Amino acid sequence: MTRRTASDRLRKALVVVVSLVAVLAVTGCDPLPVRQASHETNVFTPPPLPADARSRPLGRPGPLPADTGPYKITLTQGTSQAPVAYDPCRPIHYVTNRASKPRNGDAVLREALARLGAATGLHFHDDGATTEVPVPHRPDFQPKRYGNRWAPVLISWSDPQDLADLDGPVVGIGYSDSYGDPGQRRYVSGTVVLDGPQINEWLKQSGGRARARAIIEHELGHLVGLGHVHDPHEIMNPDASVSTTDYGPGDLHGLALLGTGRCFRDA
Ligand SMILES: [Zn+2]
């Protein structure tokens, strides 16, 4: 990580949040190890129920294919095999750092988010641009920047020079952080980092747009709780040589499950 500033260190010091499970999602090579960390304090007061939370899910997953396939849930509740998921009764807010955005990056990102929304039923709300840069152990609660709420998901068009994790074959990273007691955990925020220069090169090539969208769909799959499967028909396959360009049957079954998690009336 370069460009570490005093404010970065301050934000890092403000990490008061919850257990965190981060999966470095790697597309183009074998996955990096699952990274787990725990940040617990006894002084953290979670943000209040957001005003846009509803008592019913905002949407529902699209029809499932007759075919089945493998999928992997990144994190389960511990007390059961139920997945940890985003709360479907409230929008998932996101902000975008466009520092290294390809020319058509916004459009491709919108397409990928639309496909994720259709597959999960989750609603994504664009909170606009941010200058926040991805950092390890990003705080999920940044009231000075985002107010008294969970920090929105950070989607960052980055560059290997700014983020060493994007060096080499790594094209994207995606993960979310969970909050709550065992059995009641839910994802509250997350990060997707995309290699802007690499994806920009793809977008200039024939078929590159589908490839770029597939990478984003893969990282968004990690964001909402899918892990890797080594099946050539699934987009959650980490092998970039696979030509799958949209969610496969296993992906869709997993995403539907992750889109129908519990609704919470706290935090
Ligand atoms: Zn991955």
Q: What are 53-100's pLDDT values in tens digits?
A: 999 999 999 999 999 999 999 999 988 999 999 999 999 999 999 999
Give the residue-averaged pLDDT of 100-119: 96
Q: Rounded to whole angstroms, how far apart are CA atoms 198 and 178? A: 30
Q: Is residue 54 part of a domain?
A: no
Q: What local confidence, expressed as pLDDT, does residue 231 receive?
A: 94
Domain that includes residue 168, residue range: 6-41+61-258
Q: Is residue 130 part of a domain?
A: yes
The conformational region for residue 16 under phi > 0 = left, psi -120 to 50 = alpha, else beta, is alpha
Q: Residue 3 C-alpha to ligand 1 middle, in angstroms? A: 26
Q: What local confidence, expressed as pLDDT, does residue 249 receive?
A: 97
CATH number of the domain enclosing 175: 3.40.390.10
Q: What is the DSSP letter of 165?
A: G
**pLDDT-based confidence at residue 24 (cuts at 50, 70, 90):** very low
Q: Is residue 265 part of a domain?
A: no
Q: Residue 233 C-alpha to ligand 1 middle, in angstroms? A: 14
Q: Is residue 128 part of a domain?
A: yes
Surrounding ion ligand 1 within 5 Å at CB are 25, 238
Total domains present in the chain: 1
Highest mean pLDDT among 13-17, 88-92, 163-167 belongs to: 88-92
Provide the mean pLDDT of the chain. 85
Q: Residue 170 C-alpha to ligand 1 middle, in angstroms? A: 9
Q: Residue 265 C-alpha to ligand 1 middle, in angstroms? A: 31
Q: Is residue 232 part of a domain?
A: yes
pLDDT in tens, 170-217: 899 999 999 999 999 999 999 999 999 999 999 999 989 999 999 999
Q: Residue 9 C-alpha to ligand 1 middle, in angstroms? A: 28
Give me the count of residues in the chain: 267
**pLDDT-based confidence at residue 45 (cuts at 50, 70, 90):** confident
Count of CA atoms in the C-beta half-sphere (13 A) of 150: 30
* Under 8 Å between Cβ of 235 and 248: yes
